[in-house]
Structure 1
Amino acid sequence: MSAAGSRVTCFLNQKGGVGKTTSSVNVAHALARAGRDVVGIDLDPQGHFAASLGLEGLDPGLDDVLFDQVPLAERLQPARERVRLVPPGPRLPEVEQMAGGRERGWLLQRAVAGLDPFPDYVVIDCPPSSGLLAINALLATDEVVMPVSCDYLALEGLAGLMRTLMRVERGLGIHTRKCVLVTRYNGQRRLPKEVLGKLKEYFPGQVLKTAVRDNVALAEAPGFGQTIFEYRPESNGAKDYRALAEDLEQHRVFEPAAEA
């Protein structure tokens, strides 16, 4: 968990293609642009967090930290002003087969706790799975942000993910704050509005205020190794992620509807 006055936030969803890495990258940069010191952790062996910032994900990184107990600070790379990133490293996929019992789940938490000075924010991009890497993220974090795109299959997947998280938390004796982040939202269409309404109904007080609108620039920016603020600073994507970072800082969510 984080030091006093600091936050550890992970972006997690077992389903791919919901904007998890896009959100990790752009929230991290939005926080940095607002004056926060940010450490990013690329916990996905695919290395898309690092690649989206123009860094080489095969450099030694988080794999050295988890396998060899190399201090996290020694694998930080400068990514942007006020943003440092730990790339995944080539051995990260092997973590899922690591021996060692329950202690394996606490490796990332111990590494993050060793950061000194502790940054204002640690942003963790998780793999699309519920394996050992995801457990490490859950044990290291203060809050879990679950991106969900605006379709009914994603809604069902989110319900399953929430049940999985609650089961894991009961088994580990922990509790983390959980937020739902709506992505690929188009307010001109009926289905996204219906899905958003269902999310607010099913997950009262947990849906973040800003729904990230469907925006082609968000999909294009990683190809240039840029965040949305560099690629299209006046786009809806940039406006939404700027607002989303404020949502996270201020815990802004849709409040549950008052009962009649």
Structure 2
Amino acid sequence: MRVSFTKMHGLGNDFVILDNRNGGLPELTNAVAAALANRTTGIGCDQLILLENDESGDSDFRMRIFNADGSEVEACGNASRAVALLHGESARVATDGGLIALEPAEGGARVDMGTPRFEWQDIPLAYAMDTLSMPVAWGPLENPAAVNVGNPHVIFFTDDTDVVELDVLGPEIEHDPLFPDRINVNVATIEDRTNIRLRVWERGVGLTRACGTGACATAIAAMRRGLVERNVTVALPGGPLQIEWTKDNRILMTGPATLSFVGTFEWSDFA
């Protein structure tokens, strides 16, 4: 079977998008997702996105997200903006992390990512602790915050994010038994009351040029600690995102998305 795909990216965080809203595609397994995401023998991407009909009728359609290692995850902020651009109009989209709302904007999109969760069991953590300042450390990284914004994040605030050996500490923290579902690792520096600098180790992917949910989680954690205002710019290696935490507890993320190219592949080559 010859299958069409769309390649897109948000600030360098790249996706292969398969549109199965009209049906007809074979079952997408974790192994097929990993094979397609492989940068040497596949199409290559950080995440593979599958669009499907939402049989519940609660949304316009469903978005499923597979990381580069084939694991299926709950949410992806950058992919949400790419899907908004691809869809071309406002939509309510079901994800495993909850219902989100997409609205295309010039050069990208604004996404209502829903409400943040802070309880230890909602992150989830292996046992109870304060998620605003966790009494744990890995090397020089200590006392992080944890936030679930559809997927789980731990956030460390440091004087200079660029000097942190995130390629070494990231996988250690991701797979720590404290995090039963693994964890996305964020290392951030507060520049001033409206600007944050951020690097992210993404579970199942590794170091990434941008992570939309990581920007949301980091901004929310900084706001909870009183370090920044309720509307901030988060600068990632791939570029900036605007994050707002509204008075009614919604997280709004605004930023670019880009169409890279379209193509086709033979499904049996990856199954």
Q: Does the alignment reach a TM-score above 0.5?
A: no
Scaled by the length of structure 2, what TM-score is found? 0.27
Query: Could you state the TM-score of these two structures normalised by the residue count of structure 1?
Result: 0.28
Taking CA–CA contacts closer than 8 Å with sequence separation of 6 or more, which of the two structures ends up with the larger relative contact order? 1
More strand by share: 2
